[in-house]
Structure 1
Amino acid sequence: MAEPSTGPSADTPPPEPILQRTFAHIGRLLPLALVPLATALFRARELLATGRTNGLSLRASFPVYRYDLWSFVDAPSGDGVTVSLPFGAVDPLPLLAPLIGAYVVVSGALSAGYFGSIAAEITTGRFDFVAAVRRFGARMILLEALVVLALAALFLPLLLFPPLFVVAILAALVVSYLYFPTVYVLALEDRGIESAARRARALVDEHRPLGFFLAVAVVTALCSVPVSLLAHAGPGGAIAAAVVAAPLGLAFNVATALKVAEMAEMADVETAG
């Protein structure tokens, strides 16, 4: 069972590198890879289109949310190389409110079980997906709805003023950096959405994790090359790429959770071995 840290001391050894700690946790958390696998397979049309297209996708993804196949691969519109930065390509929002509502509920429930389980495992050494859904479901669904509304407010005006697209992307990236710990803080510290957002902003202001933020984007871009080559190798290759990307995406989310926990002075929490 985890015990809260009382803070660093002269006798406290420095935490192990995040990569090493991620590998230490990933084995126990591996069943959670079914979540990014499911979210990848939900986009069946894009999956089939990717498998039928020759080429290479290069995508860099910052640590803002769940990782899955589509954090590493873009479904290209034609042959050749496509490059996509985070928020560089935004799918049109569904026109029907019931579809938006269904997406928000399903995605929010998956996030509740996913991030709640990651938080529980890295702090206690065990997790219960269903219990995490019950505990965090309402907050995660509301957070999902707020994100959808924020993206709509940010990008829909571009239909009227396309030249502002670059400005909108830059604004989205800045906001993402300032608040990327929010979903992790919500689960790690069992906070409400507003409290988690304020705490996330304070952590970023204090620790300035820009290096980590950019490093994740670089590493995801490197990973996207072999994953995209597999995804473009036919329908079977696309499905195989979704399977490969699922534990890879889980590893990125676990690493980010560990970074946020470290920023929140939880790095010295003793976890089950």
Structure 2
Amino acid sequence: MVRPSDGPSVDDPPADGPSPRGSLLDRTLAHVERLLPLALVPLVTALLNVDDLTATAETDSVVSVSASFPVYRYDLWSIIDSPGDGGASAAVPLDSVGSLALVAPLLAAYVVVSGALSAGYFGSIAEGVTTGRFDFVANVRRFAVRFIALEALVVAAVLVVFVPLAAFPPLFVVAVIALLVLSYLFFPTVYVLVLEDRGIDSAIRRAYGLVERHRPLWFFLALAAVTALCSVPLSALAYAGPVPAVVAAVIAAPVGLTFNVATALKVAAMGDVDVAR
């Protein structure tokens, strides 16, 4: 994508008035209009999660409130809680696996498919906000290996650290708090990876440096608050039955894209990456 420039951040207003590029919300909506076809990715990922879709459609719950942080790809399951998860969204599709022999190939398939979709999705968002156009297939080819490797690292960390800690509630609570802190410190990682075309290690170090320098806690918490507000009507719709659950996934797709585009623009501003008007 675009290497960071030496000029001022696009979010920094000039000394004599507001930013000529408008607010983050205005810029986000302008880019989402051009990037709307990418909403198919969060729609597909939501519909492919059949276990959560079925559990949500069959629940007796009326509504739920769930806050989600801007760490990765948003879809319906990032915004609402699936009743089958007991109040927490599953990161990997292991609920229905009955045989240990099936875990490895299913998990590998999940990592490859999800990583490839994320490569095209985040790569296209980065290309779209910096150039005004995008090529999804080209971005899959360009970033797939890095995103598949990144997803494999995350899945391995979840299996090695958090799954065993689930048996020890006090330690698990500490681990969850630690996860929230790490999520804040490194949330720009996937965006830096595509905006500046970096490797995984370089993107992680760059993400931490940007957070340490700019301290965007307000943005991190504000986006979580907005997702919590969105979770109320979306969960009410999804819990109404099978067809409403699918409709909720359709509605959540452009909403999730909007959250991801807003985060990309925020990270671009933090990293002094030029964006398209």
TM-score by length of 2: 0.88
In structure 2, do the counterparts of structure 1 residues 112 and 91 end up closer, same or farther at CA, with 3 Å as the change threshold? Answer: closer
CA distance in 2, matches of 1:2, 1:199: 14
Q: CA deviation at 1:153?
A: 2.4
CA distance in 2, matches of 1:204, 1:191: 17
Q: CA deviation at 1:157?
A: 2.2
| 1:38 and 2:48 correspond | no
| 1:22 and 2:41 correspond | no
**1:125: which partner in 2?**
132
**2:248: which partner in 1?**
241
| 1:135 and 2:142 correspond | yes
Q: CA deviation at 1:27?
A: 1.1
Q: Which amino acid aligns with 1:257?
A: A
Describe the superposition over 1:34-65 as per-residue Cα deviations: whole angstroms up to 9, x where unpaired: 10001101111221221122321211000010
Please say if residues 4 and 272 of structure 2, whose CA atoms lie closer than 8 Å, have aligned partners that are also in contact: no
Describe the superposition over 1:57-92 as per-residue Cα deviations: whole angstroms up to 9, x where unpaired: 2110000100000012112259xxx855xx7x6667
Match of 2:154 among 122, 144, 147: 147
**1:256: which partner in 2?**
263
Q: Which amino acid aligns with 1:23?
A: L
Unaligned runs of 5+ in 2: 9-13
In structure 2, do the counterparts of structure 1 residues 77 and 39 end up closer, same or farther at CA, with 3 Å as the change threshold? Answer: closer
**1:205: which partner in 2?**
212
Please say if residues 22 and 255 of structure 1, whose CA atoms lie closer than 8 Å, have aligned partners that are also in contact: yes
Q: Which moved more, 1:146-155 or 1:105-114?
A: 146-155
TM-score by length of 1: 0.90
In structure 2, do the counterparts of structure 1 residues 249 and 155 end up closer, same or farther at CA, with 3 Å as the change threshold? Answer: same
Q: CA deviation at 1:116?
A: 0.2
Identity %: 65
Describe the superposition over 1:106-157 as per-residue Cα deviations: whole angstroms up to 9, x where unpaired: 0000010000000000000100000000000100100110111112222122
In structure 2, do the counterparts of structure 1 residues 255 and 147 end up closer, same or farther at CA, with 3 Å as the change threshold? Answer: same
In structure 2, do the counterparts of structure 1 residues 163 and 91 end up closer, same or farther at CA, with 3 Å as the change threshold? Answer: farther
Describe the SS at the equivalent of 1:38.
Answer: helix
Please say if residues 58 and 83 of structure 1, whose CA atoms lie closer than 8 Å, have aligned partners that are also in contact: no
Q: Which amino acid aligns with 1:69?
A: L
**2:58: which partner in 1?**
52
Describe the superposition over 1:211-261 as per-residue Cα deviations: whole angstroms up to 9, x where unpaired: 111111100000000111110111110000000000000000000000000
| 1:168 and 2:192 correspond | no
Q: Which moved more, 1:1-10 or 1:21-30?
A: 1-10
CA distance in 2, matches of 1:72, 1:34: 16
How many pairs are equivalent? 264
CA distance in 2, matches of 1:40, 1:50: 12
| 1:109 and 2:110 correspond | no
Q: Which amino acid aligns with 1:105?
A: V
Match of 2:82 among 70, 75, 80: 75
Describe the SS at the equivalent of 1:58.
Answer: coil
